[in-house]
Structure 1
Amino acid sequence: MEQVIQALSTKLSSDQISSNDTVKELHSKDETYHQTSLPDVVVFPKSTEEVSFIMEVAQKFQTPVTPFGVGTSLEGHVIPYQNGLTIDFSLMNQILEIKESDLLVKVQPGVTREQLNKELKKYGLFFTVDPGANATLGGMAATNASGTTTVKYGVMRDQVRDMEVVLADGSVIHTGNLAAKSSSGYHLNGLFIGSEGTLGCFTELTLQVYGIPEHIVAARATFPSLTNAIEAVTSILHAGIPIARVEFVDEASVTQINKFNETNYPIKPTLFLEFHGNASGLQEDLAFSQEIMQDHGCDNFSSETDNAARNHLWDARHNLAYAYIHGHVGKKMMLTDVAVPISELANSVIYAGEELEKLNIPGGILGHVGDGNFHSLIMIDMENEEEVKKAKQFNEKIVRYALERGGTCTGEHGVGIGKKPYQRLEHGAALDVMVNIKKALDPNNILNPAKIVDVDNRVNQ
């Protein structure tokens, strides 16, 4: 490692290379319960050329490399289990170009979602993908993030037109172009998005953006049971109503919301909804949705058009994970993250709820139910071996239930190490194709090793 640092020092300044214990500790974890691991060195590049140079050095010395955004990942993606170099992209945080006439923006990977939307607002535009956390756009592309607006606008993979990627040997490629569609060649955007730093380091992203809707209405609806709420969502989707967000939270989660945000929402299964469009169209969509929900037993419905009131409503939903963390000091958060076909959604959520009750561990159910993606959130005492074991068994039950019904083990959080055990079960022989792609692009397995797939016996389980 001394040789690596010496080589890096030939082109990087001293303040771009850190072996400080505090800095390393900050890069040893994400936001969940996964075991921490320290990098040997953290580097802070400022340009594509410097990232290319870092990868050339890493390749020469066969040093593992872990890309890092702001550490909001939830499946251990950024934890360097084989130590080595962590590349922190926080200094590559420039919005490079806004092409408003093309509804495109070019950014460096360290730009955060909120930073981009603050700048886009000046042009009457916004970036749609909203995972809740103020994650970096590079990290969001690495995990194919989605979130509350997916039901209308799609996931991260749907928003990326082009990426600049530094490969394992330091070479630089572009994966797409600026056109709205293309039938040329393999779909490299789709390959690299969701690759979690195992195939290359993203240094630029060209993203699709949208005009800020003329009118936005947020709403909250409560139901007598979980089943009523989920079936109401299914009916709204079948009716073709262009809803922009539809989020579910159960009673336990509403309790945490009330404590953390000092609200007094009814302790019932609740939907948070949002509609985008013009004034007359929105009123029709809102009235139709309310009628459908009443058919499913909705006992309270309220809507907000005021911007501050809407933000307050969504802050409550976005802060739910932190509400649980603050409400259970000393415990760590585990999130399941399955997605199923819409026809299987109600039964899947009911099953998760029944299994959660058996645990006798604090937790709740929430999710982006408009696209069939939901989470079970539980707070576990990592010093209690029996509790940790029960939590992991619960996670596995939820995953297997989803896979048996044509779903996926991770709808938006990514694989990392947390969902790696289920890759063969989900993908079968296709996993071997993924391994071969990894070997072809990273033959020495230095890019975020131990994540998504295993390619040699160096991998820590």
Structure 2
Amino acid sequence: MTIQFAITALTTVLGDRLSVAKPDLEAHGASETHFPPAPPDAVAYPLDTDEVSQIMQICNEHDCPVIPYGAGTSLEGHTLAVKGGVTIDLGRMNRLLAVNAEDMDVVIQPGLTREELNTELRTTGLFFPVDPGANATLGGMASTRASGTTAVRYGTMRDNVLALEVVLADGRVIRTGSRARKSSAGYDLTALFVGAEGTLGIITELTLRLHGQPEAISSAVCSFDDIGDAVNAVIATIQMGIPMARIEFIDADTTRACNAYSGTDMPEVPHLLVEFHGSDAGVAEQAERFGEIVQDMGGTGFKWSAKTEERNALWDMRHKAYYACVALRKGATAVVTDVCVPISRLAQAVEETRADIAASPIPGPILGHVGDGNFHAILLVEPGNEAEMKTAKDLSNRMVERALAMGGTATGEHGIGIGKLDYMPAEHGDGWDVMGDIKSVMDPKYTLNPAKVVRPT
């Protein structure tokens, strides 16, 4: 009954911006991957920090779980209401609050998406570079410490969030960090909340680092007969210090999927997709040097272009690769992995994973942001087929074990949610218990996104 008491109290604050309509509940309780639905009891649509604070005070008083929600693009069940409660949809808190062009930073609300932000910035000569593929909200990207195709040059959300405004479990509002580019003033609370997946507080404002729009951009694509040669070309490129803006890998199965889904006609072999940012002369030189590496590594079909429409088509295809892969098997659901390893172990990790999947009875295309050692396998499972689901999870387990043995991590960008909880002890040891200690101090009633990231209670 405590949840219902909270809903009654919230209605007086939000009116018709608190929904208990079945379509709203179902939409906020679904996942893009294999997790079963877990809808909340209500969905709140706040407009500002003060309303978020009031929501948290009421829910804290009634021990009601609260799940923050952005665009719902997370892949590890981050936004599922596994304990019921109230989902706070921050989509209406989507204002750009300030652009400080001279300081190259911007202040925004969490519901603003990365594409919306860059549209607003077009006339400033600046842009926000972190690109996870999906048009995610920037609050959600900070909460999951997102990265993506451009991380090899511009870093992840960890590197591009300067400061935050956060509402804590008891409704207190705090500010972390500042617009200064460095500080030695106490604990780095900004870093604590970036990647916490809404388990420690709800982000209601972000100050983000911006970058100058490059003078010239060119993209290239090339193919390889052997998956190891493609990945070794990535390693050589990174080790030679060529300043790539993006360097992506797709295997033969992913190439076939993209051809069918996006209408491309690439040879059905492994490919690298790359992008260069800089001056006209600089990007030409970078492309030439990369082309030499490709040739040395046995790559063929090297094509590069500075035409905007051709570049956009290439990256649109890459951003749709997940949906293309799922479409390879009609009606399939996906178990998605995203391990990350040191760049020197990348070729071995990818080749061993490819062999492991090939020996299994289920398909599993491989792709990834390999410029920083991060790659994914999209394991396609027939819904309701328990044997196939077990096979997929076993494959995922072995991928993680392989990555950890190589000095890597269970997740390079998707986060933990509920999907990767079981890997936390192996990766963090007693450090996972320390995370739980922090959670218990900051959210003693465990109302903030319960059953995610830390050890379940």
User: CA separation in 1, counterparts of 2:248 and 2:87?
Assistant: 35
Q: Deviation string for 1:203-230 (max 9, x for gaps)?
A: 0000011111000010001111001000
Alignment match, 2:14: 12
Measured in 2, the distance between the counterparts of 1:427 and 1:403 equals: 10
Distance 1:261 1:455, change over 3 A: closer
Instruction: Name the structure 1 match of 2:306.
Output: 305
**Is the CA contact 1:213–1:277 (under 8 Å) kept in the aligned structure 2?**
yes
2:327 is matched with 326
TM-score, length of structure 1 as denominator length:
0.97
Aligned counterparts of 1:434 and 1:9: Cα–Cα separation in 2: 34
Q: How far apart, CA to CA, are the structure 1 residues paired with 2:31 and 2:421?
A: 16
Alignment correspondent of 2:243:
242
Question: 2: distance between equivalents of 1:128 and 1:30?
Answer: 26
- Tell me the amino acid that sits aligned with residue 131 of structure 2: D
Q: What whole-Å deviation, never above 9, does each CA across 1:100-147 have from its counterpart, x for those lacking one?
A: 111111111100111111111121211110000000001100100000
| Deviation per residue, 1:415-443 (Å, 9 max, x gap) | 00111100010001111111100001000
Q: Secondary structure at the match of 2:133?
A: coil
SS in 1 for 2:272: strand
1:153-204 deviations in Å (ceiling 9; x for gaps): 0000100000000000000001100011111111111110000010000000
- State the alpha-carbon separation in 1 of the partners of residues 133 and 375 from structure 2: 14
Question: Unaligned regions of 5+ residues in structure 2, if any?
Answer: none
Q: Unaligned stretches of 5+ in structure 1?
A: 457-461
Q: RMSD of the alignment, in Å?
A: 0.9
Given residue 382 of structure 1, which amino acid in structure 2 is its aligned partner?
Answer: P
Matching residue of 1:414: 415
Instruction: Report the secondary structure of 1:338's partner residue.
Output: coil
Residue 27 (structure 2) aligns with: 26
Deviation at 1:263, TM superposition (A): 1.0
Q: How many angstroms apart in 1 are the aligned matches of 2:31 and 2:101? A: 35
- Structure 2 contact 78–418 (Cα < 8 Å) conserved: yes
> Is 1:145 matched up with 2:165?
no
Q: How far, CA to CA, are the matches of 2:229 and 2:50 in structure 1?
A: 55
Corresponding residue number in structure 2 for 1:92: 93
Q: Partner amino acid for 1:384?
A: N
1:19 Cα deviation from its structure 2 partner:
0.5
Question: What is the match of residue 339 of structure 2?
Answer: 338
Contact kept in structure 2, 1:131 and 1:145, CA below 8 Å: yes
Q: CA deviation at 1:7?
A: 1.0
User: Does the 8 A contact of 1:257 with 1:320 survive in 2?
Assistant: yes
| 2:74 counterpart SS class | coil
Distance 1:251 1:360 in 2: 17
Could you tell me which amino acid in structure 2 is paired with residue 445 of structure 1?
Answer: Y
Amino acid at match of 2:147: S
Residues 118 and 128 of structure 2 are in contact (CA less than 8 Å); yes or no, is this contact kept in structure 1?
A: yes
**Paired residue secondary structure (1:293):** helix
> CA shift at 1:455, angstroms?
5.0
Matched, 1:273 2:271: no
State the AA in 2 paired with 1:26. Answer: A
State the shift of 1:30 in Å: 2.1
Offset from partner CA, 1:317-340 (integer Å, 9 cap, x none): 110011123333321112111000
Alignment of 1:383-422 (within 5 A): 383-422=384-423
Closer/same/farther in 2, CA of residues 31 and 455 from structure 1, 3 Å limit: closer
Q: Is the 8 A contact 2:325 2:365 kept in 1?
A: no
Answer yes or no: is the 8 Å Cα contact 2:338–2:413 preserved in 1: yes
Give the secondary-structure state (helix, strand or coil) at the position aligned to 1:409.
Answer: coil
Are the counterparts in 1 of residues 432 and 455 from structure 2 also a CA contact under 8 Å?
no
1:56 aligned residue:
57
> Which residue identity does 1:24 align to in structure 2?
L
Whether the aligned pair in 2 keeps the contact of 1:340 and 1:406 (CA below 8 Å) is yes
C-alpha distance in 2 between matches for 1:288 and 1:300? 15
1:112–1:136 CA contact under 8 A, matched in 2: yes
CA contact (8 A) 1:445 1:455 kept: no
Tell me the equivalent position of 2:4: 2
Aligned to 1:190: 191
The size of the alignment, in residue pairs, is 455
SS in 1 for 2:195: coil
Q: Distance in 2 between matches of 1:17 and 1:87?
A: 9
CA contact (8 A) 1:95 1:108 kept: yes
Identical amino acids, percent of aligned pairs: 48
C-alpha distance in 1 between matches for 2:248 and 2:311: 14
Indicate the SS of the match to 1:9: helix
1-side partners of 2:94 and 2:30: how far apart? 21
1:230 paired with 2:228, answer no
3-state secondary structure, aligned to 1:361: coil
Counterpart-to-counterpart distance in 1, 2:248 and 2:264: 18
- Report which stretch shifted further, 373-382 or 322-331: 322-331
Q: Distance in 2 between matches of 1:216 and 1:236?
A: 18
Q: 1:127 touches 1:210 (CA, 8 Å); kept in 2?
A: yes
Once residues 148 and 175 of structure 1 are traced to their aligned partners in structure 2, the CA distance between those partners, rounded to angstroms, is 27
- State the alpha-carbon separation in 2 of the partners of residues 341 and 94 from structure 1: 38
Is contact 1:221–1:271 with CA below 8 Å preserved after alignment?
A: yes
Q: Which amino acid aligns with 1:358?
A: A
Q: Distance in 2 between matches of 1:30 and 1:175?
A: 31
Q: Tell me the equivalent position of 2:122.
A: 121
2:177 aligns to what SS in structure 1? coil
- Please name the residue that 2:442 is paired with: 441
- Inter-partner Cα distance in structure 2 for 1:387 and 1:256: 21
Which string of whole-angstrom CA distances, capped at 9 and with x for unpartnered residues, describes residues 331-384 of structure 1? 111211100001110000001100110122122110000000000112111211
- Mapped partners of 1:9, 1:88: distance in 2: 15
Q: 2:367 corresponds to which letter in structure 1?
A: L
Distance in 1 between residues matched to 2:368 and 2:391, nearest whole Å: 22
8 Å CA contact 1:435–1:455 kept in 2: the answer is: no
Residue aligning to 1:459: none
Partners of 1:313 and 1:405 lie apart in 2 by 32
The answer to whether residue 381 in structure 2 is matched with residue 380 in structure 1 is yes
